Structure 1
Amino acid sequence: MESVAVNLAAHLEHLIVTGHLEAGSRLPAERALATTLSVSRTTLREAMYELEAKGLIERTRGRGTIVLDTDHRPQFGALISARSTQQSHAAELRATIEPPIAALAAQRATRANLVQLRDALERSHSGLTPSESLRLDIEFHQLVAHAARNPLLSTLQELAAEWVSGVRQQSHITSESRRTSHEGHEAIYAAIAARDPELAKAAMEKHLRMVEHMIATADPTDVAQPGDVRRSRTDAPTPTD
């Protein structure tokens, strides 16, 4: 049986989502609202914390509690602004959509798709700058999605790449991390070229686990920014394919 706070949060969320509590409306003061709902202030606060975490309300000292408009709820950029949130949410997002996309690519990729994937791999090596490596990383995954030949999934993958691009930078900081990323791409490509959906899915899952590990262990003060040339092409490129 759910607690009173959980049931209260569910009730209030339903009212907000269905429009019974309109965006921009101000909820009564905490004491009055608790009395109206016949709950303790502790129970009310617990419910409010959940609604606030979901971006349904905004609580500000002096202004009270405001129901948020859909356009003012936290967007994806804000939702992944904290490094701890980036790691967990970005990893879950990619793990949910990319392995099935790789499996479809193995079933549906044309010879032209394989040529494009191979070309992207051949332009990748550990001697690239972090920003260049990230760009090719995103390109490879977009090409995999394109090879799945489902425009909805391809669009979703492109949007996801944009949402988590800041997180992915952390997996391209060192030449070793760039080499590891490239090796993961090689395995994914090989499975797609072999027309093996299960192997392609497994290769993508393994690759994403490695990326998650590299992000978790990366130095957050050394994230590459667009145009970063700290590790320039003068570093001897080491082809990894």
Structure 2
Amino acid sequence: MTASIPPLSRRARSVSAEVAAHLEGLIISGELRAGDRLPPERELAANMNISRSSLRQAMFELESKKLIERRQGRGSTVADTPYTAAELAGSLAETEIELGHASELRDLVEPRIAHLAALRAVESNLLSLENVLGRCHDGNSADESLRLDIEFHALLAHAAQNPLLVTLCTMTTEWTRRTRTLSHRTKRGRRVSLDGHRQIYEAVARHDGASAAVAMEQHLREVRELSLHTGRR
């Protein structure tokens, strides 16, 4: 079955980058899943009202990020998790990890992800991150705020262009879900989380790896303190 692609919201950016960001966001959010077949390029370009050359550039970028697979005569499909990453996830998932240990792992992994994302992010990555931040506001529910939080960190990991780091980010997200839930219970917590994301994004957009890592470290400290405070209530 061929996947349905939602309309593209156009901005004054490179068309191919906008398309890549749009499709990447659908993949990261789970709207497009591993194995989903994308419409034929001619049809997809017509539906999105873009040229086939712009679409091809976007598809090439997604393929280079290992988000889709393109095969002659079979079209394009959303890629599975790379075997090496899946193997790592499987071996670690069987081990019972305490929340404190998982938080320590997050402190080790996520600043490095932010640093690499700042060095390696391309225009489509920045557009995807902007899109998530644009959907964050004071009216978000706790559940929606948590979902956008997870999506932001997942997109940041993809911007680092390393599939193993994407897998580590996914695993630490699951291990720290309870902590994240606590930090999003209050409006203040959701605001602090969003402010942290904005500071991280600004550093990534400047391609300032050191500042991105520092912003992430500060963000994780604030989230941890919020979670501890909320958990004691």
Both structures adopt the same fold (TM-score exceeding 0.5): yes
1:117 counterpart = 2:135: no
Alpha-carbon separation, structure 2, partners of 1:79 and 1:91: 10
Question: Deviation of residue 128 (structure 1)?
Answer: 1.0
Q: Which has the larger radius of gyration?
A: 1
CA contact (8 A) 1:170 1:220 kept: no
Partner of 1:150: 162
Alpha-carbon separation, structure 2, partners of 1:79 and 1:103: 26
Alpha-carbon separation, structure 2, partners of 1:74 and 1:91: 16
SS of corresponding position for 2:207: coil
1:207 alignment partner, one of 211, 216, 219: 219
Alpha-carbon separation, structure 2, partners of 1:208 and 1:191: 16
CA contact (8 A) 2:196 2:219 kept: yes
Question: Deviation of residue 75 (structure 1)?
Answer: 4.8
| TM-score between both structures, scaled by the size of structure 1 | 0.56
Partner of 2:119: 107
- How many residues align? The count is 143
Report sequence identity in percent.
46
Question: Deviation of residue 74 (structure 1)?
Answer: 9.6
Alpha-carbon separation, structure 2, partners of 1:100 and 1:79: 21
1:189-216 deviation digits (Å, cap 9, x = unpaired): 0000000000000000000000010011
CA contact (8 A) 1:90 1:167 kept: no
Partner of 1:96: 108
Partner of 1:166: 178
1:79 counterpart = 2:97: yes
Alpha-carbon separation, structure 2, partners of 1:112 and 1:74: 31
Alpha-carbon separation, structure 1, partners of 2:217 and 2:210: 11
CA contact (8 A) 2:182 2:226 kept: yes
Alpha-carbon separation, structure 2, partners of 1:212 and 1:147: 24
SS of corresponding position for 1:217: helix
Question: Deviation of residue 91 (structure 1)?
Answer: 2.3
Partner of 1:40: none
SS of corresponding position for 2:215: helix
1:131 alignment partner, one of 113, 122, 143: 143
1:190 alignment partner, one of 202, 213, 217: 202
Question: Deviation of residue 160 (structure 1)?
Answer: 1.3
Alpha-carbon separation, structure 2, partners of 1:219 and 1:202: 26
For the aligned residues, what is the CA RMSD?
Answer: 2.0
Alpha-carbon separation, structure 2, partners of 1:156 and 1:79: 13
Alpha-carbon separation, structure 1, partners of 2:113 and 2:93: 27
Alpha-carbon separation, structure 1, partners of 2:185 and 2:128: 25
CA contact (8 A) 1:126 1:176 kept: no
CA 1:159 to 1:74, structure 2 compared with 1: closer, same or farther past 3 Å? closer
CA 1:164 to 1:219, structure 2 compared with 1: closer, same or farther past 3 Å? closer
| TM-score between both structures, scaled by the size of structure 2 | 0.58
